[in-house]
Amino acid sequence: MATKDSGLKLTIRQREGRAINAVVELLRRRLSVPNIYIEPPSSAGRADVLAVDRGGAGDLHAVEVKLASDLYPEGLRGRPSNPKELHQAYGVWHEKYVKKLAAIYRHAMEMPAHYRYLAIPEESFNLALGKFGPLGLFPEDGIGRLGVITIREKGNEAPVAEIKVDAERFRVGAARLRAIELRILAKTRPDIEVRI
């Protein structure tokens, strides 16, 4: 798969890795002395990036990164020629997209972290936000808001991550926090930390 505007051929995994690095860089600049875990062990809840603010003693920030290949179901094979067939094919594709997006959304809302983000391609922002709706970023209990980070791929240059919707603090149960502390923070060294 070629990235936009370049001859650079990257696999989906390489593109995801570059997007994760862009998110890590954004969190590194935004948080105060963060400890950042890239793809931490999933035993306490899966996230692509987990950052702990204030040298590992602060709030948890979890980010789920989903590129277009994750968001969109299989595309149309052999584009239908007449409008009726095209409309039917789009309807099937759209239904699958909505189901896939709903599953990704549920997972992001359930991540055990104080601040939760979904990172998506910049060009998917309007379509995805249209499906969530502005109120869909809030949990039922009203405490917290899912943040949205967009990823802009720039060919041979490093991708850029930008916060489009700020996350608001979620409530996280003590048992879930303790599980993360025991399974990840106490046993795994951060991928990025400030050394003193």
- Residue pair 164/150 in contact by the 8 Å Cβ criterion: yes
Residue 1 lies in a domain: no
Tokens of 67: 């590129």
Residue 168 — pLDDT band, cuts 50, 70, 90? very high
Residue 192 lies in a domain: no
Q: What is the mean pLDDT of the chain?
A: 83
Residue 173 lies in a domain: yes
Cα gap 18→36, rounded to integer Å: 16
Domain containing residue 52: 12-185
Residue 53 lies in a domain: yes
Residue 139 lies in a domain: yes
Cα gap 138→161, rounded to integer Å: 22
Where is average pLDDT lowest: 76-80, 86-90, 176-180? 76-80
pLDDT, greater one: 72 or 27? 27
Q: Quick check: 2 pLDDT over 50? A: no
Using the structure block, give the residue that is written with the tokens 């309007």.
126
Q: What are the residues facing 150 on neighbouring strands?
A: 120, 162
Residue 147 lies in a domain: yes
Number of domains observed in the structure of the chain: 1
Q: Quick check: 6 pLDDT over 60? A: no
Residue 195 lies in a domain: no
Cα gap 97→168, rounded to integer Å: 26
Cα gap 14→47, rounded to integer Å: 17
What mean pLDDT comes out for the span 126-147?
Answer: 84
Distances (CA, A) of 111 to 5, 33, 69, 106: 34, 22, 21, 9
Residue 69 lies in a domain: yes
> What's the pTM value of the predicted model, to 2 decimals?
0.83
